[in-house]
Copies of this chain bind each other. A is one copy, B any other.
């Protein structure tokens, strides 16, 4: 068992590996029109928690018993996939912020992509990041030596969880349902797809790289589904009660956009209880699967429940 301090160090070390890998993950600038390249880089390197990449790495590591020296090779091979999911997440934010969608001027305290590069370039930067994510996934085979069958399964998962049946579907449902949502079932549908799906993808991808069995992949999926919903409800809570400085955005943005949220539907206290309940369920699903080393994933779940940004 690791102490909370060492978990913080663990997070920091992994996040810095992800940042470093992201620096060189995009096509080199001389291959690409300079402004497009800058625009992609601007949003990809704008910081953020890098939660999804961390989940890829932690799930990959979870497939090796503590102390197994080959864990490091698996984590290394997982890095391009960790970058890929961050590209997908970044593209979705660029497109979501567009005037035709949420029309946001700021993201993480910086002007949104289209505010700097214009709408046309922001659309293209999003398209290019989305497309390049698949290139990055393929590098797990070419550079990481992971068998092509496993990497192709990750490609399939990525197009599933990020596409019409996944994240894009969630975003569409969100837009179509704006102001018309009245029950928690509809809201859950949106958040399972807008938020949980990429989290589920990240966990399964890490598991696949580490050679997870079907039962283990299923457990990672259940863990991710619950974790994703808990994460989203916590986000809604922080939008009402958080610290603007830490969040990097003004409070009560959901209210201003007249968004239907969990606190709006069930109240803050019930939300807090639900985050705790879902986190418990997440950990329970994972326990059952007998991963060789799930400790970091449990810690991540607790950390996300207690985060204040």
The interface of chain A, by Cβ under 8 A from chain B, is 26-27, 31-33, 35-37, 40, 91, 95, 98, 100-101, 118-121, 123-124, 126-128, 130-135, 137-138, 141-142, 147-149, 151-152, 155-156, 158-160, 162-165, 168-169, 171-173, 175-176
Contacts and interface: CB of A to CB of B under 8 A. Distances in A.
A33 B118 CA distance: 29
A152 B138 contact: yes
Contact of A134 (B27, B31, B155): B155
A126 B164 CA distance: 10
Given A134-B155, A134-B159, A124 B171 contact: yes
Given A100-B123, A101-B123, A148-B149, A132 B163 contact: yes
A104 B164 CA distance: 25
B27 A163 contact: yes
Contacts of A35: 172, 176
Nearest to A28: B165
A133 B164 CA distance: 11
A29 to B, nearest CB: 10
Contact of A40 (B37, B128, B141, B164): B164
- Nearest 5 interchain pairs by C-beta: A100-B119, A131-B163, A135-B159, A148-B148, A36-B172
Contact of A156 (B26, B138, B158, B173): B138
Nearest to A98: B123
So how many copies of this chain end up in the complex? 2
A36 B152 contact: no
A288 B130 CA distance: 37
15 contacts: A31-B165, A32-B164, A32-B172, A95-B124, A100-B123, A101-B120, A124-B168, A127-B127, A127-B168, A128-B169, A131-B159, A131-B163, A134-B155, A137-B155, A148-B151
B27 A128 contact: no
Nearest to A92: B127
Contacts of A36: 164, 168-169, 172, 176
B159 A138 contact: yes
A139 to B, nearest CB: 9
Contact of A33 (B128, B141, B176): B176
Nearest to A132: B163
A301 to B, nearest CB: 28
Given A121-B175, A124-B172, 5 more contacts: A27-B163, A95-B124, A101-B123, A128-B168, A132-B159
Contacts of A128: 163-164, 168-169, 172
Contact of A127 (B95, B141, B165): B95
A157 to B, nearest CB: 9
A131 B169 CA distance: 12
Contacts of A173: 33
A202 B27 CA distance: 22
Contact of A164 (B37, B100, B149, B160): B37
